[in-house]
Structure formats: C-alpha cells, structure tokens
Structure 1
Amino acid sequence: MTHAEDRPGHVVLLGDSIFDNGVYVPGGPDVVTHLRGELPAGWAATLLAVDGDVTAGIPRQLASLPADATHLVVSVGGNDALGHAHLLGAPVRSVAEGIALLGRAQSAFERDYAAMLDGVLATGLPTAVCTVYDTNPSAPEHAVIRSALALFNDAITRTAFARAVPVVDLRLVCTQAADYANPIEPSVVGGARIARAVAAAVLVHRDARRSTVTA
C-alpha cells in the first residue's frame, strides 16, 4: 500500500513578486522553475503568486488553487509595507512618537495578515509562510528599510507561530547584492536560494500538518 506521504506532492506558491519574479530575470529561470528542480521526481509546483499583490490579493489567488495541491507556501507583505513607506518621511517630535506611528501601521498589517493566513489555512493544506527580506544590502536606504521591515516581519512571525505555521525566514536566505535583480526583486541567484529554502521547508514538514520550526 502507498502511504499518502509517499505520493508525489504539488506545491503552490502564493504571494507577490518574491515568487512571481519572471519579468525581473529575463532569459533566466524564475523561482517556480528553480523550485521544480529542487523537488523530488514526480512532484509539481504551480505559481499563483502575482507581482504587485498585497495580502488582500491572496483570496483571489486561492480561487485558482489546483485540485491536487498538497502544500501551500505564502510570501506576501512587502507591498503592504511599501504602502506605508510614506510614514518614513512623516515629521514627528520624538522617537517615541515615530515608533507609535509605525506601530499603528504594524497593527493594521497584522490584522490583514492574520485574516489572510486564516483563509489560507481554511483550505486544510499544510502551509508555510515567508518573512519579507531586507532588500538589496547595496541600496542607499537599506539600514532604514531593514529596521522598518522588522515591524512587519514581527507581525508575520507572531501570526504564524500563533497558528503553528512553519516560517521560512528570507532575511537569512537573500543576504548578498547578487541575490537581487534590483533593490527589491530576487535575481536568478536569489531565486535559486529562495527555491531551495522553500523546498527544504516543504520536505522537512511534509509529514506534519503544522510545525513551529523555522526553515
């Protein structure tokens, strides 16, 4: 008898241009192509992520979920954070006032992200999520962006861990300028590293519905 965990899997990528990076790597393999090469023979990978999408776009992506999907991986939140980028230039009278301003943006994002993730988990499929990476380290405002993104990544990890969902921390995956095609999109090199991390997370946790272990 063939056990369910021995059957070929079908990984579906949801989210934004971290997965849907084809336009940024012309002539080179995109993330989903790399992923297909990292998965065991017989496994499939489908790209439903859409460049530019925010957390509110995930339900639309789920509407196209293949019937034979076995694992979901979500990488979204960077464009939500970009929507709050104007706050970095807002005048404040103290550091505390600035933190409070960013904290309100964090709280709004956390509510949206939690609603999104609950919708994904309602499919009943094993799911992993990704943090938002820190952007190209050669970008002029890298230090500021990294600090601001920490607030959004805290919301992602809190939400995931509260639901015992595995986390792939892309901040530890894409760390070099070569990993980026521009300040915020993954290159061929970065896409390969992302694909390896995603495959490792899926394969490590394929025998369990949920886990708090980070990949």
Structure 2
Amino acid sequence: MVSSASMPHIVLLGDSIFDNSAYVGGGPDVTAQLRLRLPSGCRATLREEDGAVTSSVVRQIQQCPPDATHLIVCVGGNDALRHSGLLDEGARSVAAVVNRLGEIRERFEGDYGTMLDAVLASRLPTAVCTIYDARYPDPLRQRLVITGLTIFNDVITREAFIRGLPLIDLRLICDKAEDYANPIEPSVQGGAKIAAAIAALTTSHNWPQGRSAVFAF
C-alpha cells in the first residue's frame, strides 16, 4: 500500500474521456487541467487511450509508473458504442429487445468485473467513473442513448459498490451542452469539471476506510 508520506501520483486509465486533447482545439485536456488543480508536488499521468474498451485497461495497468499512488478508471463508453447499432434495429417484441439488452449487460458485467479485479491487484487506491449521458442534437437519439447507457452505468456502480470503491458520477458533473466538444467527448469546460472532481476525490476521500462514496461536483 501507499505510504501516507507519499505525494500523490494519480494515474488515469481508460478511454478518451480523459485523453481528449484531440477534441479541444488546442485547449487544455483533462490531464493538464487536473495537474493545475492538484496541490504542489502532486502529479498526474495519463495512461488512457482514445478508443480503448474495458479489456484495454488490463494492458494499461501494466504500464503504470512504479511510483503511482492512485488510479482513476473511466471506461465503458466505447463498449457501449460497439452496440449502438441496436438502437436502429427493428424488433419483433419488447421482450426480444429486453433480452438482447440483458445479453449485452451480462457480457459487460463480466468484462468490467475482470478489469476491476486486475486493477485492484495493484493494491493502489482506486476510483471509477460512470459514463456520462453524451449530447446528441437529435432529441430521439439522445433519449435512446441515455436509456441504453443506464445498463452500462448500472454495472459500473454495482461493481464499484461491491468493492467499496469511490465513484465519480460524470452524468451529474457534465450536465450542460457546453461540457461537450462533440456528442461523446468532453470540452475544455467539461474537462475542467471532471478534473475538479478527480482532484477533490483524491485529496478528500477517506481511502483507508474502504467505503464507497459518490462524487458529483
């Protein structure tokens, strides 16, 4: 475990929610904004990858700096995107749709649980993030996406709470249209809000207690 005397070195794992430099038009990405909000001497390192899925995190954890003290995991959005074609398919019945969604949920639950177990094998304080609601200009598409994402977010919250991990709820943090650079990537404004939540969690959460808490500001 991390010595209480160690200065925090936060490592960000997952997909392009943190690795959003390509979408902010030269503005600061989430990692850069996080570094500005951390106390002097603290560090933040990005190990996330644009396009990464849940299984990608197992490789990322193997590439963590040896002096890492905290891990923040934000992944699942690209897993959901893999199934986005389902939103445009026809269906014979509601039961058929619900059954298909159940199959997707079960597969993601297995992948996410396996990933978290691999991350926690590092024995480092770890937090996870929900998938935010995204911002599609078409109201129907937006409604369908939000509804579909509840399946993935239910898995994330359950798996986090089972393990006593703190949760950053990006659905409540990125709640304005201006928080998005495009329908699925955070803007500079959204990145600032995400960075503030990570900094607050890292510096204020009672990590030794091993109890879940939700950060939504």
TM bin (shorter chain): over 0.9
Provide the rounded CA distance (Å) in 2 between the counterparts of 1:66 and 1:206: 23
Gaps of 5+ in 1: none
> Aligned-pair distance for 1:211?
2.3
Deviations 1:103-147 (A, max 9, x none): 110110010000000000000000000000000164541111000
**TM-score, length basis structure 2:** 0.94
Provide the rounded CA distance (Å) in 1 between the counterparts of 2:25 and 2:54: 26
Deviations 1:150-194 (A, max 9, x none): 000001111111111111000000011100000000000000000
Provide the rounded CA distance (Å) in 2 between the counterparts of 1:207 and 1:85: 36
Provide the rounded CA distance (Å) in 2 between the counterparts of 1:78 and 1:202: 23
Structure 1, 201-210 or 42-51: larger mean CA deviation: 201-210
Partner in structure 2 of residue 95 of structure 1: 94
Partner in structure 2 of residue 148 of structure 1: 148
Structure 1, 95-104 or 10-19: larger mean CA deviation: 95-104
> Aligned-pair distance for 1:7?
3.3
Please say if residues 139 and 183 of structure 1, whose CA atoms lie closer than 8 Å, have aligned partners that are also in contact: no
**TM-score, length basis structure 1:** 0.94
Partner in structure 2 of residue 40 of structure 1: 39
Name the SS of the counterpart of 1:79 in structure 2. helix
> Aligned-pair distance for 1:207?
4.1
Distance 1:209 1:42, change over 3 A: farther
Name the SS of the counterpart of 2:91 in structure 1. coil
Provide the rounded CA distance (Å) in 2 between the counterparts of 1:178 and 1:52: 22
Provide the rounded CA distance (Å) in 1 between the counterparts of 2:34 and 2:138: 27
Partner in structure 1 of residue 64 of structure 2: 65
Name the SS of the counterpart of 1:18 in structure 2. coil
Letter in 2 for 1:163: R
Percent of aligned positions that are identical: 52
Structure 1, 104-113 or 55-64: larger mean CA deviation: 55-64
Provide the rounded CA distance (Å) in 2 between the counterparts of 1:200 and 1:94: 46
Provide the rounded CA distance (Å) in 2 between the counterparts of 1:32 and 1:139: 30
Partner in structure 2 of residue 168 of structure 1: 168
Number of aligned positions between the proteins: 213
Gaps of 5+ in 2: none
> Aligned-pair distance for 1:210?
2.7
Provide the rounded CA distance (Å) in 2 between the counterparts of 1:142 and 1:201: 29
Partner in structure 2 of residue 191 of structure 1: 191
Distance 1:169 1:139, change over 3 A: farther
The within-5 A match list for 1:23-34 is 23-34=22-33
Provide the rounded CA distance (Å) in 1 between the counterparts of 2:183 and 2:209: 35
Please say if residues 125 and 207 of structure 2, whose CA atoms lie closer than 8 Å, have aligned partners that are also in contact: no
Please say if residues 164 and 210 of structure 1, whose CA atoms lie closer than 8 Å, have aligned partners that are also in contact: yes
Provide the rounded CA distance (Å) in 2 between the counterparts of 1:210 and 1:192: 27
Distance 1:139 1:43, change over 3 A: farther
CA RMSD of aligned residues (A): 1.5
> Aligned-pair distance for 1:8?
1.3
Letter in 1 for 2:183: P
1:179 paired to 2:179: yes
Deviations 1:60-99 (A, max 9, x none): 1112100110000000000000011112223222222211
